Amino acid sequence: MHEKTTLTEPTFRIRARHTETTVTVYQAYRPQIGRPAARTGRFPSAWKRDRMTWIKPSFLWMMYRCGWGTKEGQETVLAVDISREGFEWALRHACLSHYVPALHPDQAAWKRELARSPARVQWDPERDLHLNPLPHRSLQLGLAGEAAARYADEWIVGIEDVTPLATEIHALVRAGEGERASALLPVEPPYPAADEVLAHLRA
């Protein structure tokens, strides 16, 4: 396992832990939701499927977002294995969360697409081990409506509580043990998404 490199990284590329059939995404929840989810492999009834839920293939971006599992309401970090079929369905049915002239005829057309899309994509700066921004971008995928229901009911293959891993890596980072911390990071190679799956999501 290695810390993510910034060399020759294209600005927009999905990097994720994946197998031939699954891709791992990360979320962080309060323990009342996260712990039952990890125990049963399904989100409990307290999980609100009528809200947009954001999934993140980047472990370090999740650590940036949840403060290594220390932020209130984000104390339980989950690694969620979902089907690649479901992940790519979401990408195909997603709209960028912001207007890009090169991809949309005009702002009104983008707003119409956004309103009817069950998923949306943001590309935010990837993070290094110290959670500093990197030049290339990390995918954040927001799921709502049909996409959120499919995620919860059909796509999930397994859920693991990786809070202990986050805590261990964070402790090593604070202790100045960068190499040992990097060795524990999940390996996230480029995800082999076809160009046509991402063409409408990259400027």
Q: How far is Cα of residue 35 from the mean position of the Cα atoms in its chain?
A: 19
As a whole number of angstroms, the distance between CA 99 and CA 128 comes to 27
Per-residue pLDDT tens digits for 99-145: 887 777 788 888 888 788 999 999 999 999 999 999 999 999 999 99
The predicted pLDDT at position 125 comes to 96
Contact between 121 and 201 under an 8 Å Cβ cutoff? The reply is yes
| Spatial separation of the C-alpha atoms in residues 121 and 139, rounded to whole Å | 7
Share above pLDDT 90 across residues of the chain, in percent, rounded to a whole number: 76
Distance between CA atoms of residues 41 and 154, nearest Å: 12
- Residues 57, 63, 68: CA angle, nearest 5 degrees: 145
pLDDT above 50 (res 150): yes
Q: What is the pLDDT of residue 203?
A: 63
Quick one: pLDDT at residue 2?
47
Give tens-digit pLDDT for 151-188.
999 999 999 999 999 999 999 999 999 999 999 999 99
- C-alpha distances (whole Å) from 114 to each of 56, 73, 82, 122, 171 are 20, 28, 24, 12, 40
Q: Are 87 and 184 in contact (CB under 8 A)?
A: no
> What integer pLDDT is reported at residue 86 of this predicted model?
98
Distance CA 105, CA 120 (A): 18
| CA separation for the pair 87, 69 (Å, rounded) | 24
Give residue for tokens 């990786």: 162
Percent of the chain residues past pLDDT 70, beyond the cut: 96
Q: H-helix or E-strand containing 100?
A: none
pLDDT average, residue stretch 72-99: 95
| Residue 57 reports pLDDT greater than 80 | yes
12-29 pLDDT, tens digit per residue, is: 999 999 999 999 999 999
The reported pLDDT for the residue numbered 4 is 47
Please state the pTM of the whole predicted model.
0.92
